[in-house]
Amino acid sequence: SQQGEEDPQALSIQEGENATMNCSYKTSINNLQWYRQNSGRGLVHLILIRSNEREKHSGRLRVTLDTSKKSSSLLITASRAADTASYFCATAFLGNDYKLSFGAGTTVTVRA
């Protein structure tokens, strides 16, 4: 499978703490994207990082990409209860123009 794989599967943190999750993949990519899914809802795009980028920020989100290790990480700083959700990485593989491959996700619970 070409899917990205997230680690850990689940994460529980206290409000105000940082949350870090990782994604590994197997073949060369065009870009890697992170999505959030709140319970019972559709996925929402958070951030896209291209293969020639190493780090990207968006508000309290920081994404890194290491193409030599075929891995990415998503850091959520100063977490809030509203950050409770599942987070998915999606990889856009070279030569696969129209499709994204999604991992199984990391479920993050932020405790008040």
Which residues of this protein are in contact with other proteins, per CB under 8 A? Answer: 3, 30-31, 33, 35, 40-45, 48, 88, 90, 92, 97-100, 102-105
Nearest distance in Å: CB 7, other proteins = 13
Cα–Cα dist 46/15, whole Å: 20
Nearest distance in Å: CB 64, other proteins = 19
Nearer to other proteins, 74 or 90 (CB): 90
Residue 70, Cβ neighbours under 10 Å: how many?
17
Across the chain, where does the E strand assignment appear?
Answer: 5-7, 10-14, 19-24, 29-37, 43-50, 55-58, 61-66, 71-76, 85-93, 101-102, 106-111
Nearer to other proteins, 18 or 27 (CB): 27
Query: Beta partners for 107?
Result: 10, 86
Nearer to other proteins, 2 or 18 (CB): 2
Nearer to other proteins, 73 or 88 (CB): 88
Nearest distance in Å: CB 46, other proteins = 9
